Amino acid sequence: MQSSLRIRKITKGIVVTIGLLFFIVILLFPFYWMFITSIKPDSELYDMAQPPMQLLKPTLEHYVYLIENTRFLLWLKNSALVATVSTAASIVIGTLAAYSLARLRFRGSRTLGLTIFITYLVPTTLIFLPLAYVIRSLGLFDKQVALMITYPTFLIPFCTWLLMGYFKGIPKELEESAMVDGATRLQALRMVILPIMMPGIISAALFAFTLSWNEFVYALTLAQTEAIKTLPVAIVSQLVLADVYFWGSLMAAALLGSVPIAILYSFFLEYYVKGMTAGAVKG
Amino acid sequence: MTQTAEISGKRQSRFEQFSQWFNQEKILGPALVAPAVLILLLLIAYPFCVAIWLSMTDKMIARSDTGNFIWFANFTKLFKDSIFQRTTINTFNYALVSVFFKLVLGLLMALVLDEVKIFKNFFRGILLLPWIVPTSLSALGFLWMFDSQFSILNRFLLDWGLIQEKIIWLGTPATAMFSVQLVNIWRGIPFFGISLLAGLQSIPQELYEAADIDGASSWSKFWNVTFPLLMPVTAVVTLFSIVQTFADFQIVYVLTRGGPVNSTHLFATLTHQTAILAGRLGEGAAVSLFMFPILVIAVVLQLRYLQKQD
């Protein structure tokens, strides 16, 4: 009895380990291969006789090429600027909306909440074409500000929905007692509720920043001039030149473009997983 | 002196009056939602109406006029167009196959991670990477892994004796569709995995203990406890993924641009191709609207679920 239980436990351990290894290999191998490619000299990269996993002389030449001969740093700055502005704007607007929808009673608040939730489901690819048309008629086409005002269209619904969940988890008595002491609702929100909300706001901001950093379709259609492009679009359109691929630098660019997100994410992993699962579990 | 005091007193009270008025829920509520609503009206609702109008015109990018109103001519043209027919089949194929494998493998990943007891956060963290890095950039990595000459996948498969000849991943219609699906699945597994893991962990432990007392097998525990309680989360995540995969763009744009011979065009990439690259704005808008019905279905199901939850 005892030993059969132990055997079952060991078998389970082995199965779980194999499963874990399986997922680690298939999900992470592409990154590993991108990294190896980015530090391999061209002579080894295109030598079919050499075993592909072998690396004789690691080099940083592809990274140097990227920084010195392309406008990588400019695109990086563009991405950071667009993502920061649109995230900040969306967090402010989304927090106010979420507070109102989660806490205040007024006619049509439920319908409004559901409508905002529906826009959260709208894929950007459904809207990008007429959006480009509208942006053009507003005279903002091919300007960076076009991205800063269009990104909130998918960030605000997301932040609002996520933060509504957090607001609902904070007891009403907290702000009511502040209001008994003479504070207005907005004062109570600022002094009492927002400090407690910080974890929620951080996860919302983190998500929003990631979403803006990774956005592709709007950036591809709304920002055509090379100097204002964001990183993902610039790498795909400016570095992939016709049929000549510089795979080493290309992989270096793809990795460097992902690094800011990965760093941010490793610092705030707890918030990230919590935010993601809150979104998923609450719907 | 007294006069100024009076005036400032009056101002004070006027400000107080305003702030009291503004503090009412029926005033403050709408006021705080207003910015969000305005932006969404201007940049989602209005463009959507523009799309419907554009889809019924022959507007071209190159021409500055507003185009002629041609009713449903764009749509009837599309229905007869073989590229569009192909794209419709591609989109369903791409979305359904990808979501199916994302769901199955994601569930498997959740079950595995649920049993991992050491370095839990570390493993969750690194396994979520495919989902959080920019899709266009990881797709570039796959472009290199699918390279016609230097594909690492081919070298592995050849070395292990699984294939005799190089696979031209992106060069033939069948393998190209398989390849873009592969990338989509790769990217989506962690999303399903981590979301379903959260669902698993929200199942009360007592239920399993009760099942143990009844002497239930692992399989019957999965089937009678885990599966039914995981259903709601699974449904929400799957629905969301179907909408997103149906409207996918980046992977195909980076890997194949819809080729070879339109075998991987999806509604979104065909929209871009028709409207932006070929300049037929009206026709492109008509293509994009085909992503709308699936969204409506998803929204209806989702709302029904939310109502049940309340």
- Reported ipTM: the value is 0.92
What residues contact A276, with CB distance under 8 A and at least 6 apart?
A207, B194, B195, B198
Count each helix (H run) and each strand (E run) in chain B, helices first.
Answer: 17, 0
Which residues of chain A fall below pLDDT 50? 242, 280-283
User: What's the pLDDT band for B11 if we cut at 50, 70, 90?
Assistant: low
Tokens 């990338």, residue located: B183
Inter-chain touch A127–B275, beta carbons under 8 Å:
no
Selected for mutation to probe chain A from B16, B18, B22, B28 (highest A CB count within 10 Å) is B28
Contacts of B136 in chain A (CB under 8 A): 214, 216, 232-233, 235-236
Task: Tell me A123's DSSP state.
Answer: -
Q: If you average pLDDT over residues B102-110, what whole number do you get?
A: 96
- For residue A283, the model assigns a pLDDT of 35
- For residue A280, the model assigns a pLDDT of 46
Q: If you average pLDDT over residues B184-189, what whole number do you get?
A: 97
Inter-chain touch B288–A221, beta carbons under 8 Å:
no
Burial status of residue B45 (CB atoms within 10 A of its CB: 0-12, 13-18, 19 or more) = middle
How far CA A176 is from CA of A101, A163, A188, B18, in Å, comes to: 17, 20, 8, 20
Distance (Å) from the alpha carbon of B3 to chain A's nearest alpha carbon: 28
- In DSSP terms, B69 is beta-bridged to B57
User: What's the pLDDT band for B10 if we cut at 50, 70, 90?
Assistant: low
- For residue B225, the model assigns a pLDDT of 87
B25, B121, B140: residue with CB nearest A250 = B140
Q: If you average pLDDT over residues B103-128, what whole number do you get?
A: 91
Rounded CA separation B248/B266 (Å): 7
How far CA B217 is from CA of B46, B85, B115, B222, in Å, comes to: 56, 49, 17, 9
Q: If you average pLDDT over residues B154-172, what whole number do you get?
A: 91
- For residue B177, the model assigns a pLDDT of 97
Inter-chain touch B298–A210, beta carbons under 8 Å:
no
Q: Quick check: B64 contacting A, CB < 8 Å?
A: no
What residues contact A17, with CB distance under 8 A and at least 6 apart?
none
The better pLDDT of the pair B63, A6 is held by A6
Sign of CA dihedral B148, B154, B158, B164: negative
Percent of chain B surpassing pLDDT 90: 60
Sign of CA dihedral A49, A52, A54, A60: positive
- For residue B8, the model assigns a pLDDT of 54
A52, A127, A134: residue with CB nearest B152 = A52
A24, A156, A270: residue with CB nearest B127 = A24
Sign of CA dihedral A175, A180, A181, A187: positive
Best-predicted range by mean pLDDT among A71-75, B63-67, B210-214? A71-75
- Give per-residue pLDDT as tens, A203-251: 899 889 999 999 999 999 999 999 999 999 999 988 876 455 689 999 9
User: What's the pLDDT band for B243 if we cut at 50, 70, 90?
Assistant: very high
Inter-chain touch B51–A272, beta carbons under 8 Å:
no
Rounded CA separation B245/B196 (Å): 18
Using the predicted structure, report yes or no on whether residue B216 has a pLDDT greater than 90. Answer: no
What residues contact A257, with CB distance under 8 A and at least 6 apart?
A76, A79, A231, A232, A235, B134, B137
- For residue A232, the model assigns a pLDDT of 95
For residues B267 and B286, the answer to whether their CB atoms sit within 8 Å is no
Contacts of B247 in chain A (CB under 8 A): 123-126
Rounded CA separation B162/B149 (Å): 18
Selected for mutation to probe chain A from B15, B26, B40 (highest A CB count within 10 Å) is B40
Q: Quick check: B32 contacting A, CB < 8 Å?
A: yes
- For residue A281, the model assigns a pLDDT of 43
Using the predicted structure, report yes or no on whether residue B3 has a pLDDT greater than 60. Answer: no
A106, A133, A283: residue with CB nearest B26 = A106
Q: If you average pLDDT over residues B83-89, what whole number do you get?
A: 96
pTM of the model: 0.92
Q: Quick check: B246 contacting A, CB < 8 Å?
A: yes
Using the predicted structure, report yes or no on whether residue B31 has a pLDDT greater than 70. Answer: yes
Inter-chain touch A27–B244, beta carbons under 8 Å:
no
User: What's the pLDDT band for B207 if we cut at 50, 70, 90?
Assistant: confident
What residues contact A194, with CB distance under 8 A and at least 6 apart?
A95, A201
The better pLDDT of the pair B212, A282 is held by B212
- For residue A242, the model assigns a pLDDT of 47
Cis peptide before B260 (omega within 30 of 0): yes
User: What's the pLDDT band for B9 if we cut at 50, 70, 90?
Assistant: low
Q: Quick one: which H or E segment has residue A234?
A: helix A231-234
- For residue B133, the model assigns a pLDDT of 94
Q: If you average pLDDT over residues B91-110, what whole number do you get?
A: 97
